[in-house]
Structure 1
Amino acid sequence: MKNLLYICLVITGLSFFSCDSSLEKYPLDKPSSSTYPSNETELEMALWGCYGSLWLSTNYGMVMPALLDITTDIAWERAEVSMQSIGNGSHDANNSWSEELWKNYYISVARCNYLLDNMERAKAETTPAVYERIKGEVQFLRAYFYLMLTETWGDVPLVTKTLTLAEAQIPQTSKSAIVDFILKELDEAIPVLPVHIDANEWGRISKGTALAIKARTALYNNMYNIAAKAAKEVIDSGEYQIDDNFENLFKSATQSNSKEMMFFITYKEGYRTPGIVRGCTSRMGGGYSSKIPVQATVDSYECIDGLPIDKSSLYDPQKPFENRDPRLGYTIVLPGSEYMGFQFETHKDSVECWNYKTSPASRVANQDALNPYATFSGYIWRKYNEISKPSELDNSETAFIIMRYADVLLMYAEAKTELGEIDNSVYQAINEVRQRKSVNMPPITNKNQSELRSIIRKERKCEFAWEGLRWSDIRRWGIAENVMNEVLYGRPPKDYLHSAPKIDENGTPDYSTVSNKNDMRVIELRSFNKDRDYVLPIPRIEIETNTALKQNPNY
């Protein structure tokens, strides 16, 4: 079996074109490896190949960042064992999903390296500003792929050019050195990227996006001064704003109107689409309910008075979804709510539910209670799964968001809090997120550093659930060994919780005092080795074929 790393770095660089190397002449009907890219048009085509790497995906065509949430404390995957095993701590270096992630990220790096190695060929035939912008975009993309590699594996090979087979034995570079490289790449890209992206270029990288990923890179690596400064530049640019309507951020019909979206992966039916809705949605809606939120996710959302459910007088165990942070209902389909034209109900005695597609509404067999493979937790994701047309069940056109302005604001607040520089700008940033018109949670005021740290962590958990950020958050905060060494629960199949669980400073529920805890559905028993599981194992095939690599500790 070939080494995935050098196959990706050598061969996939040639995927922008094809040619017959046995003929010592340039093909007349397609680009040649000897001359490509040779002009501005070909340079732009090669750039789209680099952007296309963002589409690289695995399960249901879902992109890699989204699926990381499945392996954390907020979600679960029923059907894909390799993802399950990462979440429950039974994975090893043979894990197929980890291997697929590694391969896809290095395919992405290879495409960027090929273009940066060869774009000089097109310089004379390309408008200077266009040339510099394309170079900046490719540097940005490569930096982003390396950020994901370091977040997932720690120390990885740093490859910045197209390699020959003789050069393919590459040791890891330290994570800190790669982070320095990422920041350098972004600093070079930022000055040549446009401040504003016109509608006809929706999805391309802007200066603000590069600054935002710089802030994320710095924050993830405890470089708080750099993170705060980069995030502040984005805020001061005035290019972005919080969308009044939280739901609209995750619907294909309304995303393009939002000034909150910054870096995202676009889809179009007939070109490229994922099957995310089919994989996540309810059985009544025609889906498989295999990727689901869990009870602990639901219980993390505060009441509308700004207090956790174990402290708020507004929390009613008999009506647990009333008087809650509106983002709970925008993010998760809750029992009793309407979804996909049906009443969503997961109480096992609710063998019938309302079909609102008929007039008048009619009672029908409730597959979300009857089907043995209906959601194991009693909940499903609403975020990203509201379809704008029937074909989106299998061909979703909803863009997956990698960075939005709310993250910039919360990163700024977190960095300033960790620096001990708590001022009005910190409260303003947090409250701008919490008080968007469709959410309107109580403002945060007059808190000390410890209190603000807790508020920001809870805010990130609820604001960004099912957006792929939880993996890095629980690791950089050093709480993964606490939140992942737990039983993963769903709702009691024929009841609600009789009382609120205790909620800690990170928004994590403790069900030990809940009187009907034993009635809760046990989805999975999880374990987390703090001396191993903060990163994934280097895939076994890479270790065997690239002898310069060393396996991550304790795998």
Structure 2
Amino acid sequence: MEREIKMKRLRYLLIVSGIVLWTACGKLDLNPLSDGSSETWNSTADEIEMSLNGFYKHVFWPEDNDEWTDDWIYRDATTPITGATLNGETGFVKDRWTNAYKCIARANNVVQSVERAADVLSEEEIERYAAEARFVRAAQYAYLLSHYGNIVYSDKMLDIDEALELGQSEPAFVLEKIYEDFDYAAEHLKAEFGSGELKRATKGAAYALKARIAAYMGDWITARDAAKDCIDLGVYTLHPNFAELFLSKTKNSPEVVFGFPRSIELKVTKGDAQNYVTRNAGGWAAKDPSWDLFCAFLCTDGKPIDESDVFNPREPFANRDPRCAATIVPFGAEHLGYIYEPHPDTLKVRQVSTGQLVENRDTRSVAEYASFNGLVWKKGIDGDWLLNSWQTEPDKIVIRFADVLLLYAEAKIELNEIDESVINAINQVRARAYGVDPATTDAYPAVTLADQASLRQQVRIERRMEFALEGIRYMDLIRWQLAEKALNKPNYGLLDPADLRAKVTSKDLWFFPETPEIDEDGVADFSALAGAGLIKQLAVRKFDATRQYLWPIPSTEVLTSGLTQNPNY
């Protein structure tokens, strides 16, 4: 019986000799089909291509949810991470483990079986196919290592007896194996694809994801070198317009180092659109940016809101980094066909297409479940979100060039190798937000040479402004060991309408009654406003630092396979 239970685990963890499970598809990533295959599979280029296409199912490339961070509010709800209830039975803990090992098993099979095509393919072609499989394997192990820590590693197809002997590997060993795969991929993959070719993994993608996992593991030398290798390819550039980069109409941006398409026609879509869309436009406005994120955007003088002379809490969108208004809808701005205004006294707003005033369902004075803190997302949300039964098709971006630039700068800062290349990398990203050339340093608040601590703060704030709603903030909090600070604070929002009128708007204190303090890590302190009764506590976030910096090993793996659970779960 015990052996039978362990074999069930292996269905997802390893390929058992003689059985190959593949997804086959004529086009990359879009709507792949699942088919069985024989021991002779991967004997031709077509078969290998179909095997490789199966690696690009979206389920194998999950984003970390922004709702696990301090950038997020979902009314008065918390998550297993922000409520400190994470355990080995949590759905995403089990699903992401299972899917990663399923993908790894398929990659192992390609690496070991690709030689079957030696009679029909050149050595260079075989190496390229193996490199793509090894790239995917490295990426999957990188996700497992950074999230679970103590994982099982295998780079081979094993028979049942061999597989049952596997235990957890030392994280340092796994990291070296990840580096080996990324290095092999970078050596043998193409630098870029032609206009008529399917776009899959490239040299740059291998360098970029190697830099990311190195940074996550605190290996700054490797992170620096891998990021620089990606930059030096000269293949990638920042998209000219920050706001347009995330729209469905923007396809194959030169900023995307690794990603793949979505398609409404083929039912490969982003989904969950209504939670992000304003109520006037037919959405629910339930999942919204937090005040913590809103306050993190610097002002146009490059200073945080509590230090800047140009910040006005009554007009909190004025004089802010342009990414603020590109990420969060400004009050009084046109958005999805209506003027957005959450003020409790604005009971009607203008519908842009007709010019007529209509009931304002984006204020809680009219609609009880309008945004609880007055903020709604702007980033990537366009009119096409209202179409096609709320299905949208923006490109899925796994890593982009702005991340590579900032990883390079961060690695150099952590190594205390501070030079002009660090400043140039950060300023490229910041200048793009302002729509100016980085060299025109009088046109934006350019970063200048400073000490290590100051630049560490600058690059961390830059990452938060740049990557909001992209699944980046969670692992930044984890690797910087800031989660215990940022996620042990309440989530605040607006008072209920009657109290809001009595205590805030009637006294001309809208929007922020006073400017919250921002600490050296960019974390806002709203306690003074809460203590004065001017804002409302919506939810209490909790993060258990004794265990949550790693996820638990799924309970089924611990109970049936003898794996050691991570501490304090």
Are the equivalent residues in 1 in contact too, given 2:495–2:534 (CA < 8 A)? Answer: yes
How much has 1:113 moved relative to structure 2? 2.0
Q: Which runs of 5+ in 2 are unaligned?
A: 25-34, 437-443, 501-509
Residues 1:518 and 2:546 are matched in the alignment: no
Q: In the alignment, is residue 451 of structure 1 matched against residue 454 of structure 2?
A: yes
More divergent stretch after superposition (155-164 vs 203-212):
155-164
Does 2:287 align with 1:301? no
**Which amino acid in the other structure matches residue 8 of structure 1?**
Y
Whether the 8 Å CA contact 2:488–2:543 is kept in 1: the answer is yes
Corresponding residue of 2:72: 75
Aligned to 1:509: 524
Match of 1:551 in 2: 565
Moved over 6 A (4+): none
Gaps of 5+ in 1: 19-29, 58-62
Alignment of 1:159-238 (within 5 A): 159-166=154-161, 167-168=163-164, 170-201=166-197, 203-238=199-234
Q: What whole-Å deviation, never above 9, does each CA across 1:447-473 have from its counterpart, x for those lacking one?
A: 111100000111111111111111211
1:413 maps to which of 409, 414, 421 = 409
Could you say which residue in structure 2 is the equivalent of 1:398?
A: 394
* Correspondence 1:152-551 to 2 at 5 A: 152-166=147-161, 167-168=163-164, 170-201=166-197, 203-256=199-252, 258-271=253-266, 272-358=268-354, 360-367=355-362, 369=364, 370-388=366-384, 390-391=386-387, 394-436=390-432, 438-439=434-435, 441-492=444-495, 494=500, 495-514=510-529, 518-547=533-562, 549-551=563-565
Superposed counterparts of 1:80-159, under 5 Å: 84-159=79-154
Given the superposition, is the C-alpha separation of residues 396 and 196 from structure 1 closer, same or farther in structure 2, using an over 3 Å criterion?
A: same
Distance 1:491 1:507, change over 3 A: farther
Query: Residue type matched to 1:41 in 2?
Result: D
Q: Distance in 1 between matches of 2:145 and 2:62?
A: 14
Task: Kindly state the Cα deviation for residue 394 of structure 1 after the two structures are TM-superposed.
Answer: 2.7
- Tell me the CA shift for residue 185 of structure 1: 0.6
| Length, aligned pairs only | 531
* Equivalent residue, structure 2, for 1:7: 11
Q: 2:63 aligns with which of 59, 62, 65?
A: 65
Q: 2:270–2:392: 8 Å Cα contact kept in structure 1? A: yes
> What one-letter code is carried by the residue in structure 1 that aligns with 2:349?
C
How far does the alpha carbon of each residue in 1:387-407 deviate from its partner, in whole angstroms, 9 at most, with x for none? Answer: 447535632110121111111
**Paired position in structure 2 for 1:22:** none
Question: Which segment is superposed worse, 402-411 or 486-495?
Answer: 486-495
Which amino acid in 2 is paired with 1:43? I
Aligned mates of 2:383, 2:234 — CA distance in 1:
31
Classify 1:263/1:50 alpha carbon distance in 2 versus 1 (closer, same or farther; 3 Å): same
Give yes or no for contact 2:250–2:394 (8 Å, CA) kept in 1: no
**CA offsets per residue over residues 208-228 of structure 1, 9 Å max, x none?**
111111111212222212211
Maintained 8 Å contact 1:39/1:125 = yes
For residues 80 and 257 of structure 2, what CA distance do their matches in structure 1 show? 33
Aligned to 1:27: none
CA distance in 2, matches of 1:332, 1:437: 14
Report the TM-score when normalising by structure 2. Answer: 0.87
Distance 1:530 1:515, change over 3 A: closer
Q: Name the CA distance, whole Å, in 2 between partners of 1:278 and 1:463.
A: 24
Q: What's the Cα RMSD here?
A: 2.5
Instruction: Identify if the C-alpha distance between structure 1 residues 444 and 357 changes in structure 2 by more than 3 Å, giving closer, same or farther.
Output: same
Distance 1:171 1:287, change over 3 A: farther
Post-superposition shift, 1:231? 1.3
SS of residue in 1 equivalent to 2:196 = helix
- Equivalent in the alignment of 1:24: none
